[in-house]
Amino acid sequence: MKTEIEVVRTFNRDYTRLLGVLDEGLLDSPYSLTEARLLFELSGGAELATLGLREALGLDPGYLSRLLARLEADGLVVRSRSGADLRRQLVRLTPRGREIFTDLDARSAAQVEGLLRELPADRRHRLVQAMRAVGGILAGAAPEPYVLRPLRPGDLGWVVWRHGVFYAEERGWDATYEALVARITAGYGEHHDPARENAWIAEIDGEPVGSIFCVRADRPGDVAQLRLLLVEPQARGLGLGRRLVEECLAFARGAGYREMVLWTVAGLAASRHLYVKAGFELESERDEERFGEEITAQWWRLEL
């Protein structure tokens, strides 16, 4: 336990120094970290009771009162009494307070962005996943048994192999499907635009168990396409398919796409459930002879 305590304390010292939260003013502003956090709590727009602020931040009543008095003197907040209960004090941001918070929030985001940009993609992803795990553990949530990460050398080959094997075993498809996946992954590896296209591999204990790709669709306008979703049988029931789809959609929205489409085959019940739950709607379908059998090909669409 002594060693573990020291590891946590060392992390706290290093992290607070890195973000400059020990400086006299947060982000070169006249306001402390606690005052900035108060502005954050009030940034939702509604009036909040001081009792709720005390409980949310774990602050002593006297200390909170002094902080609010300073912010009020600077014209950032206004305090008033509740009309329903004069014993309750309410606090809200002023327009100047919202302006100050918006500036601090933007500078904080830029600071973290600068920190993340210095890291290679794989280390950045590991850092974010580790922080999610720390937050979940301290909040008492059960940790996810898997991690999502960006592509590494060798992953494209794994995607081709596993899709070929999986659909041969599950659906009896012939090698033409594996050849299709090989063409898709080869095109992605050679020509993809990192700003508007991305792919993820899901791992459990360091072993890949799933994949998904977000690429530009061969359609006019800002249309993305979800491709090559796969969840290995041993990884089902963990919510992994949902997480992969959510990650793909979040990236597409962040990249500025207005809609997303996907091509699939009727009869894949688990995949259909994921798509419907995410908000996709069936756009069109037709019978075709592909992969050595008769299939019903489907296009699905979602406005982002």
Domain extents in the chain: 2-118, 147-303
Q: What 3-state class would DSSP assign to 295? A: strand
Distances (CA, A) of 66 to 56, 59, 69: 17, 11, 5
- Count of Cβ atoms closer than 10 Å to residue 253 Cβ: 13
Q: What is the pLDDT of residue 292?
A: 95
Q: Which helix (H) or strand (E) holds 65?
A: helix 61-73
pTM above 0.85, yes or no: no
Q: What is the largest CA-CA distance in the chain?
A: 77
Domain 147-303 CATH class label:
alpha beta
Q: What is the pLDDT of residue 190?
A: 96
The 10s digit of each residue's pLDDT in 145-164 is: 788 999 999 999 999 999 99
Q: What is the pLDDT of residue 253?
A: 93
**Rounded Cα–Cα distance for residues 220 and 46 (Å):** 42
Q: What is the pLDDT of residue 145?
A: 79
Distances (CA, A) of 52 to 32, 41, 57, 75, 280: 20, 10, 9, 21, 40
pLDDT by residue, tens only, the chain of 304 residues: 778 888 888 888 888 887 777 777 788 889 888 999 999 999 987 888 998 899 888 999 999 999 999 999 999 999 998 777 777 899 999 999 999 999 999 999 999 899 888 888 767 767 877 787 787 777 776 666 788 999 999 999 999 999 999 999 999 999 999 999 999 999 999 999 999 999 999 998 888 999 999 999 999 999 999 999 999 998 988 899 999 999 999 999 999 999 999 999 999 998 999 999 999 999 999 999 999 999 999 999 999 9
Radius of gyration of the chain (CA): 25
Domain 2-118 CATH class label:
mainly alpha
**Rounded Cα–Cα distance for residues 81 and 88 (Å):** 6
**Rounded Cα–Cα distance for residues 138 and 117 (Å):** 27
Name the DSSP letter for residue 142: P
